[in-house]
Structure 1
């Protein structure tokens, strides 16, 4: 597999900086600086190594066959470019996260619609400072005082409605 020459960073630093919390900005700056340093060191070297002038060495090296042996070994040398084994895993994980985000967005939109319905209902009511007890009973029948069906004792809080009945003495 032939390697391709890196010409510039493929990282969108501006987009990444928007997503990084302000407490982590210094770490992002240090990371970008290190990344740029590596990129500069790669670009400082030529894309292909310089050609070796084997004829020059043939003439100037007195030991017979040594240059031929080195040339054969050099030309046989193949440094493999590392194979990409993680991109498929990352893409699968990205797809899974995108699916989870889509589900969350859909659920959030339904919750937003439900809350907007509730807000519209509350906004349609009389302001509380203008309501009478009858208006409150009509708007919130399950919360209003109902002395006939659900009699309560003052101060009408749930904690105060528990009535302790003493045990009957057994004869």
Structure 2
């Protein structure tokens, strides 16, 4: 009976557990146990109030008017199911849709980066191994790092330690 009350808010704990980082598994277990405790407490109560035999009480009590008063009060008792007054469910749904849109755009960007990285890897796989590469091959494949044989460099072969740059610094 009570399951119908909570059918909309059922949680897929296995899917939830897959998304929890390893460092937060203990927090997840505690959260799940607490949530299940709340759900179990709700399920222990019936969906509708139990029927009371007021006819028996009218016969058994010295004052049947008292039983009638209790019966009227009991029949008039109406405990409403809690409502979302602050419209929190709609806010959560809107945040969820916004997060899904952000995730989709992020996935699209990352897929593009992956395809670019695969293209670079395929180009690098087509290169000969470094131990078989000559200086001419190196300058052909990597022109931005080409060592010009007409301009020898000095150790440590970085631009700031070259003689041409030192002349510029002195002037």
TM-score, normalised by the number of residues in structure 1: 0.76
- Residue equivalent to 1:81: 81
Quickly say closer, same or farther: Cα 1:160–1:124, change in 2 above 3 A.
same
Contact 2:57 2:64 in 1 (8 A): no
Once the two structures are superposed, the pairs formed by residues 1-171 of structure 1 within 5 Å of their partners are 4-6=4-6, 10-63=10-63, 65-84=65-84, 85-146=87-148, 151=151, 153-155=153-155, 156-161=157-162, 162-164=165-167, 165-166=169-170
CA distance in 2, matches of 1:24, 1:107: 28
- Deviation of 1:64 after TM superposition, in Å, equals 6.3
Coordinate RMSD, CA, aligned: 2.8
Structure 1 stretches of at least 4 aligned residues deviating more than 4 Å after TM superposition: none
SS in 1 for 2:78: coil
- TM-score, normalised to structure 2's length? 0.76
**Structure 1 gap segments, 5+ residues each:** none
Give distance in 2, aligned partners of 1:22 and 1:166.
Answer: 58
- SS of equivalent to 1:159: helix
Q: Distance between the aligned counterparts of 1:137 and 1:6, measured in 2?
A: 69
What is the total number of aligned residue pairs between the two structures? 162
* 5+ long unaligned stretches in structure 2: none
Report if the CA contact (8 A) 2:160-2:166 is conserved: no
Give 1:152 shift: 5.7
